[in-house]
Amino acid sequence: MTDAKTQIDETVKANDVVLYMKGTKTMPQCGFSSRVAGVLNYMGVEFTDVNVLSDDTIRQGIKDYSDWPTIPQLYVKGEFVGGCDIITEMTLSGELDQLFEKSGVSYDKDAAEKIREANA
């Protein structure tokens, strides 16, 4: 499992925003992954997607790495942020905007507002 941990560690540290998900950002293969990828895509966030369905060692390795049992998992600047429920809550509360601003990650503020308006 060390190889998977090393590979995951290098990926989350080399990229500003990483989403470990089922499927890809253009073709998610589960509803939860689709929701998080959809939010990031809509907000214009550049992110690296890692399809856990294509590698069982990464699929288990990411759960061990974060000590979080579910996928998707979002990382910003090397830090684990959360899964679908947490990202949804952070998007609606504006906390995700704050995290992106603090981390220097560019995103579309108007798109973030539209998400909140649509879910008010």
Q: Where is the binding site, in residues?
A: 30
Residue 25, SS3? coil
| Binding-site residues for [2Fe-2S] cluster | 30
Q: In whole angstroms, what is the distance from residue 112 CA to residue 120 CA?
A: 12
Q: In whole angstroms, what is the distance from residue 20 CA to residue 51 CA?
A: 6
The structure tokens listed for 70 are: 């579910």
